[in-house]
């Protein structure tokens, strides 16, 4: 086979591969009755322990269902996890071009690749027809790995102008996975899906189709990673405490109806007395035998302080806040909370966000950007970077004045550094540019000189 035949064959294989990726959805949606099981509220510590022990063997579907139900019952838990998951989705991000070792600036070809990747990610808006989600939703779904220990989405590829780009992303439910008992790796497993009984390694079976994010949270083995176990007990204790508190509140707002009967009262008379007391609750009217004595007493509303249920609920809520956000004062000010303390605690929270951002960026670069570049530019093309902008907002006016003063004092400063801090992109070739007064005056002087020369000639 000649050179041109090999090139044509490689191109044909690439096009076939592209069409294959663009057409199929590897993991099909399930019927709603197969998407979850209801754990319910009649739980005991022994039942919860059995679910966790089952998850330790790799079968995590019941623990996932329990975790989702706990989240749906507890407003505080939902707030914490929603805050953590949305933290990255609201950040700006950049795709810097790759540079060879020793290079000061990237090559034009590498800039073009980075520009293509940036546009492809921003253009991945999802599809209402296929149910795929946009890039921001992808980040939020993958961030759920902090809770469940992993997050997985399938890429919906499409062909556009001869290029293979992501159309959107299909989030995959966590309960459709388990951890292999052989080596502990995460595998796709649907109990009702043929061919998945032993589990399917998605990266090996469907290359370039899945993004799998497994952040390091507590440092345990993959099957026991994530915050779900530590949060589960706190959420369930809060749920049990709230249930008991509601029962107590119901009793506290109802009067106690006390009935006394004579020692020689018959069973029929005792039953009539109980029924009369019940009617007294429902409609305020009851009849009693002359042989019965009835009294109504209102219970005391506590002992002058807050009930123990309130303190327990607050304590467990603060423990959950520490586990998810690393602090409590930006969630609940507390009795002695102050703005300064809240700001200190908020910095701890930013540390966690930055760690999440680094881990997420590595996953996006490995499972999305690398296939995107390889499928469109070949295996020899360098992969651009990806990072979230986690720096605090810059006071542009103060920063510009500081830069001007430093430059006038003789400090040499990179334009790329200044542009990065202010979020100003490098100008594209041919774009109209804004110039300073000195540069504008210099250009005017050059024009006058050219005119004078022409006149003298």
Domain-embedded: residue 89: yes
Residue 285 is assigned to a structural domain of this protein: yes
Kind plus residue range of the DSSP H or E element containing 121? helix 108-122
Mean pLDDT of 317-323: 83
Buried b / exposed e over 121-130, threshold 16 CB at 10 Å, is beebebeeee
To 5 degrees, how large is the angle CA 244–CA 246–CA 252? 105
- Cα(176)–Cα(330) distance, integer angstroms: 35
Q: Is 416 helix (H, G, I), strand (E, B) or coil?
A: helix
Domain with 80 in it: 9-232+351-368
Quickly count: other Cβ atoms within 10 Å of residue 80's Cβ: 23
Task: Look at residue 87 in the predicted model and tell me its pLDDT.
Answer: 86
The region of weakest confidence among 52-66, 313-327, 368-382 is: 313-327
Residue 457 has pLDDT above 70, yes or no: no
3-state class (DSSP) for residue 77: helix
If 0-12 CB within 10 Å is exposed, 13-18 middle and 19+ buried, where does residue 385 land? middle
Tokens of 398: 């103060």
**Span of 144-153, 233-242, 377-386 with lowest mean pLDDT:** 233-242
Is there a contact between 295 and 256 (Cβ–Cβ < 8 Å)?
no
Asked whether the beta carbons of 276 and 260 are under 8 A apart, the reply is no
Share of the chain above pLDDT 70, in %: 74
Same domain, 280 and 216: no
- Which range among 46-55, 64-73, 345-354, 361-370 has the greatest average pLDDT? 361-370
Q: What is the pLDDT of residue 341?
A: 39
| Residue 237 forms part of a structural domain | no
Strand ranges, E, within 73-162: 93-94, 151-160
pLDDT confidence of residue 305: 53
The H or E element containing residue 170 is strand 163-172
Taking the CA atoms of 75, 79, 80 and 86 in sequence, report the sign of the dihedral they define: positive
For residues 176 and 190, the answer to whether their CB atoms sit within 8 Å is yes
Residue 9 pLDDT class (50, 70, 90 cuts): low
Is 169 in the same domain as 289?
Answer: no
Q: What is the DSSP string of 57-70?
A: TT--HHHHHHHHHH
Identify whether residues 146 and 44 lie together within a single domain. yes
385 domain residue, yes or no: no
| pLDDT (mean) for 403-414 | 83
Instruction: Supply the pLDDT for residue 372.
Output: 96
Q: How confident is the model at residue 238 (pLDDT cuts 50, 70, 90)?
A: confident
Give the chain's largest Cα–Cα span: 137
- Do 287 and 191 lie in one domain? The reply is no
Please state, in angstroms and rounded to a whole number, the distance separating the CA atoms of residues 295 and 293.
7
The mean of the pLDDT values for the chain is 80
Q: What is the pLDDT of residue 430?
A: 74
- Statement to judge: residues 92 and 177 lie in one domain: yes
Burial degree of 444 (CB within 10 A; 0-12, 13-18, 19+)? exposed
Comparing CA positions, the residue from 257, 297, 260 lying closest to residue 281 is 257
Contact (CB, 8 A) for 386 and 138:
no
Q: Is the pLDDT of residue 224 over 70?
A: yes
Q: What is the DSSP letter of 384?
A: P
* pLDDT value of residue 332: 56
Task: Say how far apart CA 58 and CA 77 lie, in whole Å.
Answer: 25
Query: 136 with 81, same domain?
Result: yes
Q: Is residue 376 part of a domain?
A: no
The reported pLDDT for the residue numbered 381 is: 94
Query: Residue 131: is its pLDDT beyond 80?
Result: yes
Residue 241: pLDDT over 90: no
Distance, first Cα to last Cα, the chain: 66
Residue 93, SS3 per DSSP: strand
Residue pair 387/357 in contact by the 8 Å Cβ criterion: yes
Same domain, 38 and 161: yes
> For residue 74, is pLDDT > 80?
yes
Does residue 390 sit within a domain? no
Q: What are 337-385's pLDDT values in tens digits?
A: 444 434 434 444 788 889 999 999 999 999 999 999 999 999 999 999 9
Q: Is residue 224 part of a domain?
A: yes
Instruction: Report pLDDT digits (tens) over 92-120.
Output: 899 999 988 888 788 999 999 999 999 99
The per-residue pLDDT for 438 is 55
- 95/365 Cα distance (integer angstroms): 9
Same domain for 221 and 158: yes
Nearest-CA neighbor of 195 among 185, 208, 206, 184? Answer: 206
Whether 276 and 169 share a structural domain: no
Residues 218 and 117 in one domain: yes
The predicted structure's pLDDT at residue 344: 39
Angle, helices 61-73 vs 75-89, to 10°: value is: 100
Residues 126 and 214 in one domain: yes
What's the predicted TM-score (pTM) here? Answer: 0.72
Distance CA 328, CA 345 (A): 7
Q: How far is residue 102's CA from residue 89's CA, in Å, rounded to a whole number? A: 34
Q: Could you identify the residue written with the tokens 């915050």?
A: 227
Residues 6 or more apart from 271 whose CB is under 8 A from it?
none
Structure tokens at 352: 């966690």
Contact 155, 368 (CB under 8 A): yes
Task: Report the pLDDT value the prediction gives residue 350, as an integer from 0 to 100.
Answer: 81
State the total domains in the chain. 3
- Alpha-carbon gap, residue 302 to 256, rounded angstroms: 15
Domain endpoint, select from 282, 297, 312: 297
List Cα–Cα distances, 312 to 81, 316, 450, in angstroms: 21, 6, 83
Is 443 within a domain? yes
Report the pLDDT averaged over residues 278-307: 63
> Do 53 and 144 fall into the same domain?
yes
Q: What is the CA angle 347-95-226, rounded to 5?
A: 50
pLDDT score, position 389: 87
Least confident residue range of 22-26, 136-140, 453-457? 453-457
Q: If pLDDT is split at 50, 70 and 90, which confidence band does 304 have?
A: very low
- Highest-scoring range by mean pLDDT, 68-77, 421-430, 442-451: 68-77
If one compares 144 and 248, the residue with the highest pLDDT of the two is: 144
């Amino acid at each position: 086979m000649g050179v041109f035949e090999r090139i044509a064959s490689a191109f044909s294989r690439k096009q076939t591969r592209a069409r294959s990726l663009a057409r199929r959805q590897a993991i099909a949606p399930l019927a709603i009755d197969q998407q979850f099981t209801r754990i319910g509220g009649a739980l005991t510590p022994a039942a919860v322990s059995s679910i966790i022990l089952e998850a330790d063997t790799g079968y995590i579907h019941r623990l996932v269902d329990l975790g989702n139900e706990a989240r749906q019952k507890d407003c505080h838990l939902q707030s914490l996890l929603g805050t953590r998951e949305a933290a990255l989705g609201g950040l700006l991000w950049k795709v810097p071009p790759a540079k060879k070792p020793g290079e000061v600036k990237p090559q034009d070809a590498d800039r073009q690749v980075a520009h293509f990747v940036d546009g492809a990610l921003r253009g991945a808006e999802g599809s209402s027809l296929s149910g795929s989600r946009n890039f921001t939703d992808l980040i939020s779904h993958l961030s759920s790995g902090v809770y469940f220990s992993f997050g997985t989405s399938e890429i919906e590829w499409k062909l556009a102008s001869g290029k293979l780009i992501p159309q959107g992303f299909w989030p995959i439910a966590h309960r459709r996975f388990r951890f292999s008992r052989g080596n502990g790796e995460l595998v796709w497993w649907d109990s009702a899906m043929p061919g998945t009984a032993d589990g399917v390694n998605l990266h090996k079976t469907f290359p370039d189709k899945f993004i799998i994010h497994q952040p390091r949270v507590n440092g345990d083995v993959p099957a026991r990673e994530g915050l779900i176990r530590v949060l589960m007990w706190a959420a369930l204790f809060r749920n049990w405490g709230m249930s008991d508190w509601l029962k107590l509140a119901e009793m506290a707002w109802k009067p106690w109806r006390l009935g006394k009967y004579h020692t020689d009262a018959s069973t029929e008379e005792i039953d009539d007395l109980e029924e009369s007391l019940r009617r007294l609750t429902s409609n305020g009217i009851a009849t009693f035998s002359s042989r019965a004595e009835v009294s109504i007493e209102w219970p005391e509303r506590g002992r002058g302080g807050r009930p123990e249920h309130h303190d327990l609920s607050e304590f467990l809520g603060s423990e959950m806040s520490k586990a998810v956000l690393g602090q409590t004062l930006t969630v609940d000010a507390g009795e002695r909370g102050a703005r300064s303390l809240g700001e200190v605690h908020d910095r701890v929270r930013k540390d966690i966000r930055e760690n999440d951002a680094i881990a997420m960026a590595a996953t996006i670069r490995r499972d999305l950007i690398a296939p995107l570049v390889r499928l469109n530019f070949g295996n020899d093309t360098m992969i651009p970077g990806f990072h979230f902008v986690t720096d605090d907002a810059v006071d542009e006016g103060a920063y510009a004045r500081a830069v001007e003063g430093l430059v006038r004092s003789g400090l040499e400063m990179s334009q790329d550094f200044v542009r990065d801090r202010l979020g100003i992109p490098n100008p594209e070739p041919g774009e109209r540019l804004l110039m300073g007064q000195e540069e504008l005056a210099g250009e005017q002087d050059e024009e006058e000189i050219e005119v004078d020369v022409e006149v003298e000639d």
